[in-house]
Structure 1
Amino acid sequence: MESSLSSLLKTGNLVLRDAYQRVPIWTTSTKDSTETAMLRLNNSGNLFIQTRDGKVLWQSFDFPTNTLLPNQPLTKLVSLVSSRSSTNHSSGFYKLFFDNDNVVRLVYSDSRLTGIYWPNPEFRAWESGRNIYGSQRIATMDSSGHFISTDDLVFNTSDAGDQPSRRLTIDFDGNFRAYSLDESRGIWQVTWQAMSEGCKIHGSCGENSTCSNDPVHGRKCSCIPNHRMINLTDWSYGCEPEFKPTSCGNSEYNFLLLPHSDFWGYDSRYMPNTTLSECKQECIKRCSCKGFQFKYDWNKGFSICYPKFLLVNGLRSANFNGSMYLKVPKSVPLSLNNSRDVQGFKLNCSVKTTIQLDRSYDRNHQKESIKFLMLTAYVVGALEIICISYFFYGTRSRLSTQGQGYLQAATGFRRFSYAELKKASKNFSEEIGRGGGGIVYKGVLSDNRVVAIKHLNEFSNRQDEAELLAEISTLGSLNHMNLIEIWGYCAEGKHRLLVYEYMENGSLSQNLQSNKLDWDKRLDIALGTAKGLAYLHEECLEWILHCDVKPHNILLDRDYKPKVADFGLSKLLDRNGTRDLEFTRARGTRGYMAPEWLFVNLPITSKVDVYSYGVVMLEMITGTSQCGGSEGRLDSWVREKIIAAGGKNDWIREVVDSTVDGNYNMSTMGALIKVALRCCEEDKDARPTMSQVVDMLLHVEEDD
């Protein structure tokens, strides 16, 4: 502040005055009439007023604003408050504090709304690893980057070690982050953050808007259809309707579908085990209802309806299981522009022509069609029951004849004899691949289906066969277009074999070496692989890690669509370890293994697959193999190129494989590389989840 003056009075009071005003702007309100006080600043960054005998009258560490320095405590008496924006340093909407249950929390609070968003409010404190029974409320980060709190919140920064220039800050976007100073470049680097998904921070985009993740610009706000921004320079004000609200009971309503969208909280009711029609009627009869969320809960086995009286904390994500239905008067036209807003995740079609089709529907014909479909369903269902019964009794008869005592896996998941597979593969003569799990052979079954037969080499007779078949059955039940389909198995004597669908174009590794993939195909492979891994991590009923993501285990069909292979083999081959969510030994291939494999005390999570996926992405972009014999890590080499470019985009041409056919957009390629680098972060908490990666790649496709 220009022309301002700070003075330490003889009474021990520190006063800040503006040169043009006699009244103090700020004061410490301390007084010591006995002796002269001294103002000091120590090496830890603490500014304090002290008497000659060492008594501290006031210290800055007791009055933090938005930042904590190393060894500066956060206590029950203080809280951190964010700035309003990057340029406006007045108090913002976010606060970090010790709650009444002794837990450190992040809260959003404005003049109307208040909501805790960290730790995840959907879970109880103890489910998030917090302890509510602490006798004190204190948290600190030491100079080594180790943070510890009395509610059992503990973390290390990614650069843990002696580093004096660190800070903890609650930023204006609502995230709580640790920073370390890179003295060589003079910049602060994020070394830990509380929230990996910015859109899950409450109040991100204001009322009547949704937040989605953009790989280049971070979170991205959008007004919901038929709404416009209130303040074009500040999303916190949210959006307002473009139509005049009608009085309750005097209007009929439509419901506008927003797929993969949610507005967290502010539910007027919780309606389990209900239908979509019942949910609509409930919202229509409630004057305060702005819309409702409708989703199917796979754990509970029924649909749930959440009518909303306020649309805040909006989130759009391709992997969100549920949809939002907005309530709008029938008088409001659903224009093409508004419909385009709803299409949050759309196909990128090459056809430019739009043809309007005039269609009329006859209600009676519709009923006849429904009756026909229902009759067809009954007939198909009856045939399925007959086929299942025949398969079950026929298989049971064969098993009893063989007297082996093997268990039958899930229906449609066939058990082969070793003799069948030996004949199908011509005595295992045509090898098409091999890895740590075993050797893969090409074969042709008796029904002329071409298959890949994998002979697993890590089993013995001592293993319990019932347990083995139960887990193989689990793998066989997985169904995703980007996962290789398992058609059957063999468990006979010492032989353990899996039967897969055959992929005409082999592995990604083979195709990268032969240079058959243009940029469009490579982006499709990156997106498809990410979707397959996200399904394994987040949508399966059982926790499945791949543990060996690499180009050799990504197979391509005749249209070059990717399918992840060897998924679940770490679970299959080390059942006791993965069941306890621990691994007795490192798994994977050198060059693709995440750093946490090297440390005994670090937990193994789905982020090990994210790291390996990032390396694969960099290989597809650069044309350089991580295991090709070159020294150093591929991500480190790319980061060095970025630093050397000094803020320019010249590094992109140096990094991208120049031998690949086709042109590419520079900004799009830069965004893809940055997604890959985020996946390769040393700190697992700094890496995105695979569902977040899918979200980022979808936005790259939309912006291309």
Structure 2
Amino acid sequence: MRRLTLDYDGNLRLYSLDDGDGSWRVTWVALPRQCDVHGVCGRYGVCAYLPALACSCPEGFVASDAGDWSKGCRREFDVRCGEPVYFAEMPGFDFWGYDFNYTPGVTMETCRKMCLDDCNCQAFGYRMGVGECYPKISLWNGRAQDTSKQNIFLKVPTRLKNLNPTVLDFHGHACTVPEQNASVSASYFHVRGNKINFTYFYSFLTAAFVVEAIFIVVGYLFVFRADPAAGRVSDEEGYALLFSHFRRFTYDELSDVTGKFTDKLGRGASGTVYKGVLDDGRCIAVKRLDDLTQADEVFRSELSVIGRINHMNLVRMWGFCSEHSHRLLVSEFVENGSLDRALFSGDGERALGWRSRYKIAVGVAKGLAYLHHECLEWIVHCDVKPENILLDAELDPKITDFGLVKLLSRDACDRRLVLSRAQGTRGYIAPEWATSLPITGKADVFSFGVVLLELIRGHRLSDWVVVGGREEDVHMDLQLLVAWLKVKMKSDDERASWMEEFIDPRLRGDFSHLQAAAMLEMAVSCVDDDPNSRPSMNAVLQKLLSLEDAVTVRHA
């Protein structure tokens, strides 16, 4: 008996049952050298064998959690864009991956200048002799190299004198398979130099795939050939099959748990939302779709999308009601309400802190990147705004309101998205809504850019978004702001005083200069009038993640 397991340390192993003592033994491992597993020591961590696997942080960094090295290290300093820096050398080390501009055949001074001129560059690797330059946007997978020709140079502010990142204090790794259980039998693979023969492993996977395919074909023939009518279901039966894994509520049940729909939380684009409490004590949000024509359309659209997704930054649906003319959606209740309430109200004491704002930006980017790039269909939200971003007890964001969602197949992204009416909210709508251009995920990117600017500024960019006014005026106001930001970002103001004036004054200077600069840069690129010039949500997310651990400092 054998089992293939992706273990908690990130390595893939094949286990075989020993009939003698009943124990499981590792008979194949994807990465024999555990330091080769991505992120084994986390961000900024350095991996080594002493002889057992151990992790360490370079000088100037401390472990985020000494009991869990997968969380890596965090910097004890912040590198502000434009301030004087030097490069601390780590000879014989490398941080593998996350090279944003690999350049061969250059001098070390050229490589150094490339990293120096880019505020997002945290370090650069340089291979002597061949002149290969590896600027790094993020530092993962640190380890010593077999050759001394590869060096890493960390960017460090000059206010930190004599930092020596080669000073390492190694600690054992908590997530490793014990050596006595990780033996690898030579009868299952052969090593020739550094190459592994994977014939046995691939044969095992192929056999498993063939057996599974046979079962699927036999099942299909048994069900549909035996009863041809079984392949044809009505629309109602189809929806019943699709949503059989959700709880189906009756209208009376939802009326009872919501106190006859008295505890109103708010109203979205597709209906009114009420709070309820189930018999087991769980709080729920019930969206009642009031308009019959719209409700049936939105109800089917929302269920067909939400029913197939599950992500920590997307509101999770728990059930539904489809009874006579009633259409209701039941989802998890998110404790702290919508982002607009937390961001646009409150004085300096109650205002959202910088760390919370950056965490919200990253979380929303994760949710949208999942919708755009990881779902089976290409899902466009069409109404990204603070009102549709909810905050849980830990202020982690969850995107809600998929009533305006439309799906695009991945292989037909150049088709136009045909909608029966204008979608979205004034102030957040991409300019292509007013043209004949196709509506793609880049429309969500535009809306996210506006939200980013509002997270930084602390209030709505256009007050008349709420009280009325022409959409052309709203867009013109945004264009003027973006043009001003572009001019300011090109200037090399040493302390970037304009940025401190632009950022929400309620923060009282308590923010990360590096993160703020990155957010402004991404926001400006996201709200470009040309959809093709906007970055993808994956690119936005990677940029924000690369600076997630930047230290927040108070600016005078």
CA distance in 1: counterparts of 2:535 and 2:177, whole angstroms: 47
In 2 relative to 1, CA 622–454 (structure 1 residues): closer, same or farther, beyond 3 Å?
A: same
Residue-by-residue CA offset, 1:356-402 (whole Å, 9 max, x unaligned): 138897555569xxxxxxxxxxxxxxxxxxxxxxxxxxxxxxxxxxx
Corresponding residue for residue 228 of structure 1: 127
Distance change in 2, residues 1:629/1:362 (3 Å): closer
Q: Which moved more, 1:553-562 or 1:630-639?
A: 630-639
Q: Secondary structure at the match of 2:548?
A: helix
1:664 CA drift (Å): 1.8
Give, as a single letter, the amino acid of the residue that structure 1 aligns with 2:303: I
Distance in 2 between the 1:688 and 1:411 partners? 38
Partners of 1:499 and 1:645 in 2: how far apart? 45
Q: Which runs of 4+ in 1 moved over 6 A?
A: 199-203, 221-224, 314-318, 323-326, 358-361
Gaps of 5+ in 1: 1-198, 232-236, 241-313, 342-352, 368-403, 573-577
Query: Counterparts of 1:193-204 in structure 2 under 5 Å?
Result: 204=102
What is the 5 A alignment of 1:220-619? 228=127, 230=129, 237-238=131-132, 356-357=171-172, 407-410=240-243, 412-460=245-293, 472-512=303-343, 513-514=345-346, 515-567=350-402, 569-571=404-406, 581-599=417-435, 601-619=436-454
Contact 1:205-1:221 within 8 A present in 2 as well: no
CA distance in 2, matches of 1:650, 1:203: 30
| Structure 1 pair 673–485 and aligned structure 2 pair: CA distance change class (3 A) | same
In structure 2, the partner of 1:676 is 523
Displacement of 1:527: 0.7
Asked if the contact 2:362–2:544 (Cα under 8 Å) also holds between the matched residues in 1, the reply is yes
SS at match of 2:352: coil
SS in 2 for 1:407: helix
Q: Is the 8 A contact 2:277 2:283 kept in 1?
A: yes
The equivalent of 2:543 in structure 1 is: 696
Secondary structure of 1:563's match?
strand
Residue type at the aligned position of 1:238: E
Aligned counterparts of 1:552 and 1:461: Cα–Cα separation in 2: 21
Q: 1:583 to 1:358 in 2, by over 3 A?
A: closer
> Structure 1: how far apart are the matches of 2:406 and 2:536?
20
Offset at residue 638 of structure 1 (A)? 5.1
Superposed CA deviations along residues 91-135 of structure 1, whole A, max 9, x for unmatched, are xxxxxxxxxxxxxxxxxxxxxxxxxxxxxxxxxxxxxxxxxxxxx
TM-score by length of 1: 0.44
Alignment CA distance shift 1:511-1:458 (3 Å)? same
**1:454–1:497: 8 Å Cα contact kept in structure 2?**
yes
User: Which secondary structure state, in structure 1, belongs to the residue aligned with residue 405 of structure 2?
Assistant: helix
What code does the residue aligned with 1:432 have? L
Q: Are 2:466 and 1:624 equivalent residues in the alignment?
A: no
Aligned equivalents of 1:460, 1:644: Cα separation in 2? 49
Kindly indicate whether the alpha-carbon contact (under 8 Å) linking 1:537 and 1:545 is maintained by their aligned counterparts in 2: yes
Counterparts of 2:504 and 2:341, CA distance in 1: 16
Distance in 1 (CA, whole Å) between partners of 2:127 and 2:504 is 43
Contact 2:124 2:133 (C-alpha < 8 Å) held by counterparts: yes
Q: Identify, as 1 or 2, the structure richer in helix.
A: 2
Structure 2: which amino acid aligns with 1:478?
Answer: I
3-state DSSP of counterpart to 1:448: coil
Taking structure 1 as reference, are residues 516 and 657 closer, same or farther at Cα in structure 2, changes over 3 Å only?
closer
The answer on 1:650 being equivalent to 2:500 is no
- CA shift, 1:437, in A, is 1.2
Identity %: 38
> Superposition RMSD on alpha carbons, in Å?
4.6
Q: Specify the code of the residue in structure 1 equivalent to 2:484.
A: E
CA distance in 1, matches of 2:119, 2:489: 22
Amino acid at match of 1:699: S
Q: Which runs of 5+ in 2 are unaligned?
A: 1-96, 156-167, 184-235, 408-413, 466-472, 552-556
- Equivalent position amino acid for 1:637 in 2: L
Deviation at residue 447 of structure 1 after TM alignment: 1.9
Give the Cα–Cα distance (whole angstroms) in 2 for the partners of residues 474 and 366 of structure 1.
43
Q: CA deviation at 1:497?
A: 1.1
Aligned partners of 1:506 and 1:557 also within 8 Å: yes
Change (3 A) 1:595 1:474: closer
Q: Offset of 1:656 from its aligned partner?
A: 1.0
Quote the offset at 1:682 in angstroms.
1.1
What is the alpha-carbon distance in structure 2 between the residues aligned to residue 668 and residue 202 of structure 1? 18
Deviations 1:590-644 (A, max 9, x none): 0110111111x21111111111111111111112213423875345225326647
Alpha-carbon deviation of 1:472? 1.2
Tell me which residue corresponds to 1:62.
none
Q: SS of the counterpart of 1:480?
A: coil
Residue 316 of structure 1 and its aligned partner are, at CA, apart by: 8.4
Larger radius of gyration: 1
Considering fraction of residues, name the structure with more strand. 1
- 1:63-82 paired onto structure 2 within 5 Å: none
- Preserved CA contact (<8 Å) 1:461 1:493: no
Aligned residue identity for 1:591:
G
SS across alignment from 1:678 = helix
Which secondary structure state, in structure 2, belongs to the residue aligned with residue 659 of structure 1? Answer: helix
Query: Contact between 1:547 and 1:587, CA under 8 Å: does it hold in 2?
Result: yes
Say yes or no: does 1:685 pair with 2:520: no
Q: Which has the higher contact order (CA 8 A, sep 6+)?
A: 2
Displacement of 1:456 in angstroms is: 2.1
Q: Alpha-carbon deviation of 1:518?
A: 0.3
SS of the residue 1:652 aligns to:
helix
Asked if 2 retains the 8 angstrom alpha-carbon contact of 1:610 and 1:680, the reply is yes
Q: What displacement does 1:228 show?
A: 2.4
SS in structure 2 of the partner of residue 676 of structure 1: helix
Mapping 1:10-159, distance limit 5 Å: none
Question: Which of 118, 123, 132 is equivalent to 1:217?
Answer: 118
Q: Deviations over 1:50-101 (max 9, x none)?
A: xxxxxxxxxxxxxxxxxxxxxxxxxxxxxxxxxxxxxxxxxxxxxxxxxxxx
Provide the aligned length of Structure 1 versus Structure 2: 361
1:156-189 deviation per Cα after TM superposition (whole angstroms, max 9, x unaligned): xxxxxxxxxxxxxxxxxxxxxxxxxxxxxxxxxx
| CA deviation after TM superposition for structure 1 residue 587, in Å | 0.6
Asked if the contact 1:545–1:568 (Cα under 8 Å) also holds between the matched residues in 2, the reply is no
Distance 1:703 1:438, change over 3 A: same
Q: CA deviation at 1:569?
A: 3.5
Conserved? CA contact 1:461–1:494, under 8 Å: no
Cα distance change, pair 590–239 in 1 and its aligned pair in 2 (3 A): closer
Cα-to-partner distance string for 1:277-326 (whole Å, 9 max, x where unaligned)? xxxxxxxxxxxxxxxxxxxxxxxxxxxxxxxxxxxxx99899xxxx9999
| Rounded Cα–Cα distance in structure 2 between residues aligned with 1:332 and 1:592 | 53
1:310-357 superposed Cα distances (whole Å, 9 cap, x missing partner): xxxx99899xxxx9999x99x679x9x98x99xxxxxxxxxxx97713
Whole-angstrom CA distance in 2 between matches of 1:665 and 1:645: 16
Secondary structure of 1:608 counterpart: helix
TM-score by length of 2: 0.55
User: Cα offset for 1:217?
Assistant: 3.0
Per-residue CA deviations over 1:475-504 (Å, capped at 9, x if unaligned) read 222111111111111111111111111111
Aligned-partner residue type, residue 450 of structure 1: C
Q: How far apart are residue 663 of structure 1 and its match?
A: 1.2
Distance 1:469 1:206, change over 3 A: same
Partners of 1:504 and 1:462 in 2: how far apart?
A: 26
